[in-house]
Amino acid sequence: MRKTIVAGNWKMNGTREANRELLSQLVAGVDVAQGVEVLVCPPAVYLDQATSLVKDTAIKVGAQNVSDQPKGAFTGEIALPMLQDLGCEYVLLGHSERRTLFAESDAQVADKFAAALDADIVPVLCVGETLEQREASQTLPVVAAQVAAVIDRVGISAMAQTVIAYEPVWAIGTGLTATPQQAQEVHAAIRAQLKKLDADVADSVSILYGGSMNAGNAAELLSEQDIDGGLVGGASLKAEDFLTICGAAAARLK
């Protein structure tokens, strides 16, 4: 059965002081008994600090990106064995900011996904359409192609227990949110795409929604059948808001 997950993507934000404060509030506020997997994804330079601060708590740590290469002459890159060394359990892959600002292709994302699986780090595959694509009624084919690029690379059985985040590009950091119905339609289509290949795998993949999720809209989004949690950017930097979203996710499990 799939997990309910709330992941905070801190993007390029944080200081050691601010991280300490935020994580201490999250450690105090996350209710383990609720059964939600709570994950924070700080910038790479703070991963070590974050894993130390959440050690022996229910909060997990993920990276925002990683190389598909294990080591060597790749100046500025970070390797999966380094994430393992720090105790990171997840990695975001193919975030729209990586795809658009850093020109990451479907093929590169698929290579990173495969490498993460080999390293026993759970990949969170981010997919989503631009506003132009939505307006041209291309949302479902665009998302299906992004998902298919990874399935073609790793095979359907390797998708079991991985995470997909549907993040409409037009909703990221804009304050615009997909309606629960718009999001559910895409989540259900992703689930159906997986199910056609393997029903058990389809049921084991957590599909998160991301795109201006906040304390005010989370409950409604998270009440949809195929929305298994959230990938939260801006609102993950405020402990109170992030904890409210975690609480909204917990309601799915009741």
Q: Which is nearer to ligand PEP, 14 or 210 (CB)?
A: 210
Q: How far is the CB of 125 from ligand PEP (least distance, A)?
A: 12
Of 122, 233, 245, 246, which lies in the binding site for ligand PEP, with binding defined by CB under 6 A? Answer: 233
**96 CB contacts (<8 Å, ≥6 apart)?**
126, 128, 167, 169, 172
Q: How far is the CB of 96 from ligand PEP (least distance, A)?
A: 8
Under rule CB under 6 A, residue 231 binds ligand PEP: yes
24 three-class SS:
helix
The string of DSSP letters for 160-209 reads: TT-EEEE--GGGTTTS----HHHHHHHHHHHHHHHHHH-HHHHHH-EEEE
Q: How far is the CB of 119 from ligand PEP (least distance, A)?
A: 22
Under rule CB under 6 A, residue 229 binds ligand PEP: no
Active site residue 167: yes
Each residue 150-189 as x (binds ligand PEP by CB under 6 A) or -, in order, gives -----------------x----xx----------------
Q: Which is nearer to ligand PEP, 113 or 201 (CB)?
A: 113
Q: Which is nearer to ligand PEP, 42 or 210 (CB)?
A: 210
8 A C-beta contact, residue 67 and residue 77: yes
Catalytic entry in 95, 97, 104, 187:
95
Determine the Cα–Cα distance for residues 196 and 174; give it in Å rounded to an integer. Answer: 34
Determine the Cα–Cα distance for residues 230 and 173; give it in Å rounded to an integer. Answer: 14
Q: Which residue is nearest to ligand PEP (CB)?
A: 233
User: Under rule CB under 6 A, which residues in 82-101 are in contact with ligand PEP?
Assistant: none
User: Under rule CB under 6 A, which residues in 198-227 are in contact with ligand PEP?
Assistant: 210-213
Rounded alpha-carbon distances, angstroms, from residue 157 to 111, 152, 194: 16, 11, 10
Q: Which is nearer to ligand PEP, 111 or 242 (CB)?
A: 242
Determine the Cα–Cα distance for residues 141 and 31; give it in Å rounded to an integer. Answer: 38
Report, as residue numbers or ranges, the catalytic residues. Answer: 95, 167
Q: List interacting residues with ligand PEP (CB under 6 A).
A: 9, 11, 167, 172-173, 210-213, 231-235
